[in-house]
A and B are shown apart, each in its own frame.
Chain A
Amino acid sequence: MRKPLPAWVDISIMPLINIAAAFVVAGIIIALIGENPFTALAVMIKGAFVYKGALGYTLYYTTNFIFTGLAVAVAFHAMLFNIGGEGQAMIGGLGIGFIVLSLDPILPPLLVILLAIPVAAIFGAIWGVIPGWLQARRGSHIVITTIMFNFIASSIMVWLLAGMLMAPGQMSPETRHFADGVSLMQIHHIGNALGWPMARSPLNLSFVIALIAAVAVWVLIWRTRLGYIIRATGHSEKAVIYAGHDPARIIMIVMAISGGLAGLMALNEILGVQERVILNFTSGYGFTGIAVALMGRNHPFGIVLASLLFGALYQGGAELDFEFQTITREMVLMIQGLIILFSGALALMFVPAAERIYGKLASADRSSDTRKGEQNG
């Protein structure tokens, strides 16, 4: 007898099964190309957590994924599939570039930083709200428009960075360095200043901002009226209209929030590490956000955990480059694809089997209970 799964199995066991399936398939592929998957796993774990400074790097990647994962998840709650995180992050970085490059000669660094943070979110929000508007008011499908907007953002970046924003006397498409002090403080500096010696890593204050964003998203979705309406919009636009709200407006708000979160990702890369705007600083993190959101079941807590896993994969994957001739960090891309496949598209594949097993366990439990009852009686 099949039995519907209880909520705790659905949110804890099922995601783990799906991720395990992704790793098993990845392991098989590694074995097929003639390497030992367990050795590769060991290298990755060492690379991600054990080496000096490794954890810092892992958390630095994690930061990116928390932002992009939250961006995807917020939109998902309104049943909007925002594939445009990549472009929104790029434009967010561009916003940082504009504000910093124009103000850092005149304003003190701290003020520039405090201005840059909202500007990153606003620029990302603008790049999210346009597809939102197109969906809400013009009926164009958000998946297609956000895909197109990624390409458009990328072209704008190339055009600007190889054109008017290119640093003078430079040949590569990037801006000049920001003024001294215009950067988010790195955690190891803070640690050292407080007397906890830490290994050097690019981990910076944007990690803290990311965690704050995760809490804020949780409050928004489950504890506010706006969140309530956002979730209602996701399930039934008609019900939202009936309740007296304008779903088009909600869709635009959601896409602004989503784009803003993706835009904040640029803080980590541009203001935290590069201290200038470079081409392709998003490196596909926007797409990874989709995997993170799917794995984290669109819940901020799950997203932080999934981001940590992906952070470890990226940092550990970098280690693969050094240790192996044949496997590289592209392996991580493959695992990412598999995770999206198993936690997303095939998320329901194992459910019937799990229900059958659960049904058996539950009925076995009950029959032993009744037997006990008979003995007692």
Chain B
Amino acid sequence: MQQDLEVERVTKRYGIQTAVDALSLSVAHGSFFSILGPSGCGKTTLLRIVAGFLVPDDGDVWIGGRSMRGVAPNRRPVNMVFQHLALFPMMTVGENVGYGLARRGAARAEIAGRVDAMLKRVGLPGAQDKRVDQLSGGQRQRVAIARSLVLEPALLLLDEPLGALDLKLREHMKIELKQLQADFGTTFVYITHDQSEALVLSDHVAVMNAGRFEQVGTPQELYYQPRTPFVAGFVGANNRVAGRAVRIDGDGVELATADGLAVRARMSGTIAAGDAVEAFVRPEVVHLAREAAELPSLAQRFSGRVESLLFDGANSAVLVREERTHAEIRIALPQTGRFADLEVREKVAFGFEPQRAVCFRAGSHGS
């Protein structure tokens, strides 16, 4: 399959700080690729290198099989949707969308035709003569994307374009972005710090931390088979248990926390007995019961008291404190309504299957 974007060992330093550290990636034609990471991880720097606004200290960027070394941003087959969209307020919607075509020297009639067709495709037919400040947040978003896509770039870069929108609109625009991408078939490279955006939208996600990729994979892989503690902690909600490995048994690890809580989990990477380790247990993996006997037979069992109830509709959870060590654990509430009458201070039993928790050597990083 043709790779629309290939980044080859790209490095960018600012003084003594390395923003992007010998990073490589490739994005297949027509796919939606996200780079997910906390702020300051270097993802914006990487995007700006691809767009051509920054020159890497080392390495090379290939777009559509062509090296971009020495190619200025206005000559790259790449367009960018900016964080605050950067629509031109001094121009109408039509002039905004037609700007790139006009710069290429297209004829006036051709520009008008293509702008019209593009605005229809993004669901804003006849909006040519509107001013930018007459549009809603979602409509501006669509104009910004239309302005880039009308140039038929090999690659569309998106720099957290949903960041400035309120929650409701953001949820809506997520779906719209995904549909637009599927509709146009253009390769999207999307950067965000919001893991839910990355998981919902992408075919592939790269989790970035401190200038490097921790893991690249499908959203499902990142969620169910995180390869580093950072990915396990950053993607989705997770309970983290830190301690020392006391026993290794095949691909199982038994660890003990400083407080003496013993937990069994599946091993990821290599761990030897005595190593400092971190285990991660997803809230929805933990079973909750009023009596220990109700828990599935495979599970390791604990008992505790409800610390607080976190009601959030379908995402409701409880914080439970383990009885003996007072370790705190977050448990997702099942949607059956069985625990609707759960109260704070109530005694509960909980447990999980060791295979569904994952254990890493502490501080291990991706390749």
Are A and B part of the same complex? Answer: no
